């Protein structure tokens, strides 16, 4: 039987020496828990100070006594709040077919390093969130098809259930609401019959609520961000990701000031425009410690449906441009893919005639160097 223990993830050896010897019986009370979502903008629109980089904070991870070689390096995020049972079967479909091994309709491998893995069911996730009214969070569930967690919510008026991408800090019993179809009449009445931007932000910009992105204050963290007026979220849906509202392009018209587009900054550093009526969810996508986990052994990677990756320099010359030769050598060629496409050095793949009209500033390029965590 696995005997877990809770440890702190030290970003440096200095932190480990300051903490002293590791205690094998640490509890949750002694941990520095990750900070839950705190809004980066106040109700009046003033931008608050941002937190420091995530790598400088202690991340609680669950480790195990090394009874076997696979347990020695195993590190898992502490997610004791997750649902222990099966998913809501009415919102799932079986994942079956010939496409699971990276093959196309003719049976040829089009995506390498895929195949095998545990049996799964596809969860039907509501990325659009058009249903208005209050919803109650029933539970937070693990989803094998994504890195973030899902929340099963129930609509108070009709009892209809649906899956949404859970926000960090969301727990069973929380209330979430979608304002994508408009502002409720009772909310307008509570503001005195007129829409006050500061009061509206204070009442609607809560963790897990879905809003048109033009209603979100500047500097706020949002995830599950859409790009068009219709449709669901397409950006920042994986674990721990979020976008920041940078600016709003406003134009003056006869009826008043109207928002033309909203400028956001994505996790990659790219700054782009989205439609003002595109959807977004307040907060940060759940399971923020996913980035620091360690599988511990190759078998866990196979359980996830990932097949081994072989280095090009370990292949023969007939199998890869880096193969062949004596010793570990690429043969004086620049790093390329198995089909000869340059793999590093900022090789451009976008045609000049296919311009990115919504791009404000491109993401920083590292020229093949590894980006720090």
CA distance 195 to 209: 18
CB 243 within 8 A of CB 269: no
Residues whose CB is less than 8 angstroms from the CB of residue 268 and which lie 6 or more positions away in sequence, other chains included = 363
Nearest to 63 by CA among 296, 322, 222: 296
pLDDT at 25 over 90: no
Evaluate the CA torsion angle 88, 89, 93, 97 in order and state its sign. positive
Alpha helix locations (H) across 129-255? 185-190, 197-204
In this predicted model, what pLDDT tens digit does every residue of 182-211 receive, in sequence order?
A: 888 888 888 888 888 888 888 899 999 999
pLDDT band of residue 364 (cuts 50, 70, 90) is confident
Of the candidates 232, 206, 221, the residue with the CA atom closest to the CA atom of residue 267: 221
Give the per-residue pLDDT at 38.
45
**Tokens found for residue 129:** 């969130």
- Res. 135: pLDDT tops 90: yes
pLDDT at 58: 66
What is the model's pLDDT at position 35? Answer: 41
């Amino acid at each position: 039987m696995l005997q877990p223990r809770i440890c702190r993830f030290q970003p440096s050896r200095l932190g480990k020496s300051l903490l002293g010897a590791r205690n094998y019986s640490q509890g949750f009370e002694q941990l520095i828990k990750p900070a839950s979502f705190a809004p980066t903008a106040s109700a009046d629109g003033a931008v608050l100070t941002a937190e420091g980089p995530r790598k400088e904070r202690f991340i609680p991870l669950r480790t195990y006594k090394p009874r076997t070689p696979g347990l020695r390096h195993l590190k898992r995020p502490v997610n004791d709040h997750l649902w222990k049972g099966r998913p809501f079967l009415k919102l799932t479909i079986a994942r079956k077919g010939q496409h699971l091994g990276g093959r196309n309709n003719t049976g040829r491998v089009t995506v390498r390093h895929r195949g095998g893995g545990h049996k799964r069911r596809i969860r039907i996730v509501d990325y659009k969130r058009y249903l208005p009214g209050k919803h109650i969070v029933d539970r937070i569930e693990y989803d094998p098809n994504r890195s973030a967690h899902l929340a099963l919510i129930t609509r108070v008026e009709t009892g209809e259930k649906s899956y949404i991408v859970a926000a960090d800090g969301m727990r069973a019993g929380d209330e979430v609401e979608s304002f994508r179809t408009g502002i409720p009449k009772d909310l307008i009445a509570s503001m005195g019959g007129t829409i006050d931007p500061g009061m509206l932000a204070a009442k609607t910009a809560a963790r897990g609520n879905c809003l048109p992105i033009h209603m979100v204050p500047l500097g706020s963290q949002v995830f599950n961000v859409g790009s068009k007026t219709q449709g669901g979220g397409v950006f920042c849906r994986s674990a721990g990701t979020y976008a920041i509202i940078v600016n709003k392009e406003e134009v003056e018209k006869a009826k008043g000031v109207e928002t033309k587009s909203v400028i956001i900054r994505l996790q990659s550093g790219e700054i782009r425009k989205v439609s003002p009526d595109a959807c977004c969810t307040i907060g940060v996508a759940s399971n923020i410690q996913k980035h620091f986990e360690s599988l511990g052994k190759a078998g866990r990677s196979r359980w996830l449906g990932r097949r081994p990756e072989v280095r090009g320099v370990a292949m023969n010359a007939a199998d890869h441009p880096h193969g062949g030769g004596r010793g570990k050598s690429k043969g004086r060629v620049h790093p390329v893919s198995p089909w000869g496409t340059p793999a590093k050095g900022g090789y451009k793949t976008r045609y000049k005639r296919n311009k990115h009209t919504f791009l404000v500033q491109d993401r920083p390029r590292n020229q093949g160097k590894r980006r720090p965590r």
